[in-house]
Chains A and B, each alone.
Chain A
Amino acid sequence: MTEKSPLPPKDAELFSTVCQFCIVGCGYKVYKWPEGQDGDATPEGNAFGLDFTKQQPAFGTWVPSLAHSIITQSDGRYNIAIIPDDDALVNSGMASVRGAGLAASLYRPDGPTKSRLSTPMVRTSAGAKAANWDEATELGGRVIKAVMDHWGADAVGMKFFDHGGGGGGFENNWAVGRFFFEGIQTQSVSIHNRPAYNSEIHAASDAGIAPLTNAYLDAQLADTIVIVGANPYETQTNYFLNHMIKNLSGESISSKENFLSNEEFDSGRMIIIDPRRTMTVATAEAAAGYENILHLQLEPGSDLWLLNAIARVIYDRNWHDIGFIQNRTEVQTWEAYQRSTLMSGQSSEEFLNEASIKSGIEIPDIIKAAEWIAKPKASRIARRTLFHYEKGLIWGYKNYENIASIVDLALMTGNLGKPGTGCSRLGGHQEAYVRPKSNTGRPARNIDEALRRGDIKVFWVAGCNPVQTTLHANAISETLRERGRIVSEALKNSLHMPVSEQVAAIIEALKQGGIFLIGQDIYPTATTDLAHIVLPAATWGEINMTSINGERRLRLYQKFMEPPGNAISDWKIMARFARALHKLYSADENPEMANRFLDFDWTDDQAVFIDARHSFSGNYDDPMEGFAGVDYKILHGLGINGIQTPTRLINGALTGTERLFEDRPFSTPSGKARFIPAPPPWKGYAAKVEKQRNNHRFWINNGRSNHIWQTAYHHKHLTYYNERAPIPYLEIHARDAEELGIFSGDLVEVYNQVGSVQAMAYLAGSVKQGHCFMLFGQPRGAIGKLILDHVDPDTTIPWYKGVWADVRRIGQSPDLSKNISFKPTNFAG
């Protein structure tokens, strides 16, 4: 067999970019050269300057097959090679399995990504028909205006991306925010992964603490890293491998010598709070030694109990940082926290016993965790502990109190604003939130409920797929299908009429209970398949964009190719609709409404970035995303390491923020952080959750995996990724599987009173008996179909992890399973 890796020639174009996938934001180099003009193997003949007549060393440079693609542009065909950037501090030349395939995910009309949306479409009950942008905008704009005029702005609903990385970015987010919050002014808004427009961590913001506080360097400096409800080996890969593991293995000792000169230190320890024994646990143990990793395999919904119990031990032993509490926090909130959360009036023994029973964690392990977090060093200097949390805590039972409990732990131990400390989300996607202020209230409106009630007449969905991924997804699917059918029929009957008559017919259909659905995305999805107007968006690599990663590192992601067909960037789509509405309201001689849609005349990507920049003042009032003083030219000059936000202009000099809250005040009026007293600890599940738990045998934990990014929108098209999980896998304990006659590779049904999905059984030592773990968001079996519509009443955040169901064997699935290994995914040797 002939195997050959194409090499870029010396004169290949070189672009700098950042991975489009996870929050870590690894740096990459993009080489582009015309087809048929490959470089050769000699150092003089290729852009790497390397001698490929010889074996390259470990950690060297090469172009694996997924790192190369051939694209087609208006002026011909080009090779693209995308390889990790050695100069990037984030990843030091390493790729995750997702980033390694960036080139493979590019659009190519003759390749696996050919199904990208490339032209606007109008869909009637007779089928979809290609349209041009003017037609699609005219129809959509007129329907939106008519709905606002008939029912008010809140009858226009939306569910949009709000993130950085692929498909997002500050530019697109700003345009979306301008359109909906300044233009439409609707409160019927929601964020891509949840039924409302709300923070996922209200408790942290109430405490005055931003979501992303630390630098990645801090993971190399910490004495202890605490990971709650996250699996960073698989889903924040190079933060884990290039920073945390260096600490656990002792490789970062030299960094500690540089930064921590007046205290003793050792290789780092890690506490992992996760019901599963994941690859993160296995690899951390391999790097640090079993004795330096504490894995607390808690029961579902008990995070709050466990974290508060650890805090109680710290409190009882006077390991809290009273100096920090007095100087950096509002002391009256500390007093309230002692009473309400630490229950200082209750005996410690009673508190710990109850927490141990609820969480399933033995008291000695709770005490050990407290010691590793806060027991002062021999010199009496406080330990440096870095707290990280993600969806296991955020999407756990009682979102608000869960987040409060970890924020309070960080505050009481003084672990903010110093090297080796922090309290941050680990993150999913990258961040790039910049929008005019929304007025969605708190708790925010539940849009899924508003859709089911019929309150929303136009629903615009972009960059997400709620038909499969929202909670109680079958209900939303059914709602959009049934209500949408009424409009589809009206559209079919009016298709050849003038647009004004078409809109009149649609409005009549809406009065009959219909809904007009606009779907904006890069691929067809279960949601765009129901949409009456489908809008094709450009994505990563096809536009210039900016985002920040998990340590707020802002960089420019350069455009290096054209989008498919007539696809355009999201900000251009929003601008088109805004201009259409401005024109329609101007024709109505309604200047007040017309003026809401003024100033959408950006000329290029940077113009939107600069417009958004006006949101920031460059002082301590800016949020963590603040990029005052930054433009594309500056970012281009800063290269792959960019600058960490929020930025400030100090005596005219642009200054970044390595870690938050060193000199920066906390985000409260007093500038001091607040403890968030949690209500008395959890006494039980909500009634409908308790009923589900009692009626079904297994807890179906769920989440992301190493190989599949989010809903697999790219990866389902790429064989290497798709064949690892062609349908969602269900990790199940061997003894449970034996009782049910299930073997690895079998097709199983997972079902409860909410719905049913199919999955592939994977007998695994990662889960306890009675627990399962299912891949989240896989389009051939989305967990959303099993999830109750229960949300935290304080925050409208769902308990996506709170699913109980039964499992039954359907049969073998040899075609699906033949290429899948069922060896352990949590064994590191």
Chain B
Amino acid sequence: MKNIKPRDRPNRRQILTMGAVSGIAVSLGSEAESSALSQSATMPKIEIARLEDLALGTEINFYFPDEDSPAVLLVLDEQVQDGIGPGQNIVAFSSLCTHKGCQVNYYEEHKMLICPCHWSSFDPAKKGRIIIGQASSGLPQITLAIENGSVHATGISGLIYGRQTNVI
């Protein structure tokens, strides 16, 4: 009898730790800061990147509003709904698929965010709306603002997978 290993498909543990990092990784920093955020139960504001560093095609993985909540910033090649920046083409979303909480990956070929677990796909150019799949909402969109030449995350529209409230 042949002993077969499962084909390469991310398991649940891998999904929570893997990151499709093709850009710059940004975290919230220290545990103390994160803890303080939880206690305050208010939406934080974090700096993600300098505007001047955001070339077309940039993908930055970061965490928002806390270190348990991965997110992704994308610089698209077209003006999009709720995009910011000179080209109104900078957007960011929660990376947790709203179906079962796996972390989505960005596919530059079609500019789609796709969940590796059950293949729900989302369109970053349409506010993270579903393209096809089993997710029952689009990806929560991170509200971005530009201050002093930097892009900041300031809020979230939509509920992050696995939470009662976005700020916990």
Distance in angstroms from A85 CB to nearest chain B CB is 14
CA distance A283 to B133 in the complex (A): 11
Nearest A residue to B138, CB-CB:
A720
**Is A95 a contact of B136 with CB atoms below 8 Å?**
yes
* Known contacts A41-B164, A57-B101, A251-B9; is-contact A827 B130 (Cβ 8 Å): no
**Is B9 a contact of A5 with CB atoms below 8 Å?**
no
Q: Which residues of B have CB within 8 Å of A59?
A: 12, 100-101
**Is B136 a contact of A56 with CB atoms below 8 Å?**
no
**Is A101 a contact of B136 with CB atoms below 8 Å?**
yes
Say if the beta carbon of A323 comes within 8 Å of chain B: no
Distance in angstroms from B115 CB to nearest chain A CB is 9
**Is A97 a contact of B133 with CB atoms below 8 Å?**
yes
Say if the beta carbon of A100 comes within 8 Å of chain B: yes
CA distance A65 to B116 in the complex (A): 23
Complex interface bits, B130-149 against A, C-beta within 8 A gives 1, otherwise 0: 11111111001000000000
Say if the beta carbon of B155 comes within 8 Å of chain A: yes
Distance in angstroms from B86 CB to nearest chain A CB is 23
* Known contacts A1-B157, A266-B2; is-contact A60 B126 (Cβ 8 Å): no
Bin the interface of chain A by size: 35 or more
CA distance A283 to B52 in the complex (A): 38
**Is A706 a contact of B133 with CB atoms below 8 Å?**
yes
Complex interface bits, B90-130 against A, C-beta within 8 A gives 1, otherwise 0: 00000010111111010100111010111101010110011
Nearest B residue to A829, CB-CB:
B114
**Is A288 a contact of B161 with CB atoms below 8 Å?**
no
In the complex, which of the residues A64, A237, A821 has the most CB atoms of chain B within 10 Å of its own CB atom?
A821
Say if the beta carbon of B156 comes within 8 Å of chain A: yes
**Is B121 a contact of A1 with CB atoms below 8 Å?**
no
Q: Which residues of B have CB within 8 Å of A95?
A: 99, 134, 136
**Is B137 a contact of A234 with CB atoms below 8 Å?**
no
Count contacts on B: residues with CB < 8 A to the other chain. Answer: 58
**Is B7 a contact of A264 with CB atoms below 8 Å?**
no
Distance in angstroms from A280 CB to nearest chain B CB is 11
**Is A724 a contact of B7 with CB atoms below 8 Å?**
no
Q: Which residues of A have CB within 8 Å of B161?
A: 56, 62, 64
CA distance A257 to B116 in the complex (A): 26
**Is B101 a contact of A58 with CB atoms below 8 Å?**
yes
Say if the beta carbon of A453 comes within 8 Å of chain B: no
CA distance A706 to B96 in the complex (A): 21
**Is A266 a contact of B136 with CB atoms below 8 Å?**
no
**Is B100 a contact of A94 with CB atoms below 8 Å?**
yes
* Known contacts A1-B155, A829-B107; is-contact A100 B134 (Cβ 8 Å): yes
* Known contacts A52-B163, A249-B6, A249-B9; is-contact A825 B100 (Cβ 8 Å): no
Distance in angstroms from A378 CB to nearest chain B CB is 10
CA distance A824 to B116 in the complex (A): 16
Say if the beta carbon of B55 comes within 8 Å of chain A: no
Nearest A residue to B115, CB-CB:
A829
Q: Which residues of A have CB within 8 Å of B136?
A: 64-67, 95, 97, 100-101, 720
Say if the beta carbon of A279 comes within 8 Å of chain B: yes
**Is B102 a contact of A54 with CB atoms below 8 Å?**
no
Complex interface bits, A705-744 against B, C-beta within 8 A gives 1, otherwise 0: 0110000000000001001100000000000000000000
* Known contacts A265-B1, A825-B132; is-contact A253 B6 (Cβ 8 Å): yes
Nearest A residue to B158, CB-CB:
A3
**Is B129 a contact of A250 with CB atoms below 8 Å?**
no
In the complex, which of the residues B9, B107, B132 has the most CB atoms of chain A within 10 Å of its own CB atom?
B132
**Is B112 a contact of A827 with CB atoms below 8 Å?**
yes
**Is B135 a contact of A250 with CB atoms below 8 Å?**
no
Q: Which residues of A have CB within 8 Å of B12?
A: 57-59
Say if the beta carbon of A267 comes within 8 Å of chain B: yes
Say if the beta carbon of B36 comes within 8 Å of chain A: no
**Is B7 a contact of A250 with CB atoms below 8 Å?**
yes
Distance in angstroms from A765 CB to nearest chain B CB is 10
Distance in angstroms from A491 CB to nearest chain B CB is 45
Q: Which residues of A have CB within 8 Å of B7?
A: 248-250, 267, 287-289
Nearest A residue to B103, CB-CB:
A58
Say if the beta carbon of B15 comes within 8 Å of chain A: yes
For A94, give its contact among B1, B110, B132, B134 (CB under 8 Å). B134
Say if the beta carbon of A53 comes within 8 Å of chain B: yes
**Is B159 a contact of A64 with CB atoms below 8 Å?**
yes
**Is B2 a contact of A265 with CB atoms below 8 Å?**
yes
Q: Which residues of B have CB within 8 Å of A829?
A: 105, 107, 114, 116, 119
Which 6 pairs across A and B sit closest by C-beta, in order of nearness?
A56-B162, A100-B136, A821-B123, A250-B6, A58-B101, A55-B68
User: A residues near B, CB below 8 A?
Assistant: 1, 3-5, 7, 41, 52-60, 62-67, 94-97, 100-101, 233-234, 237, 241, 248-251, 253, 257, 263-267, 279, 282-283, 286-289, 706-707, 720, 723-724, 819-821, 823-829
Besides A58-B100, A95-B136, A827-B110, 14 new A-B residue pairs in contact (Cβ under 8 A), listed by A number = A3-B140, A55-B69, A55-B162, A56-B101, A64-B159, A65-B137, A97-B134, A97-B135, A237-B134, A257-B1, A267-B6, A706-B133, A821-B129, A824-B112
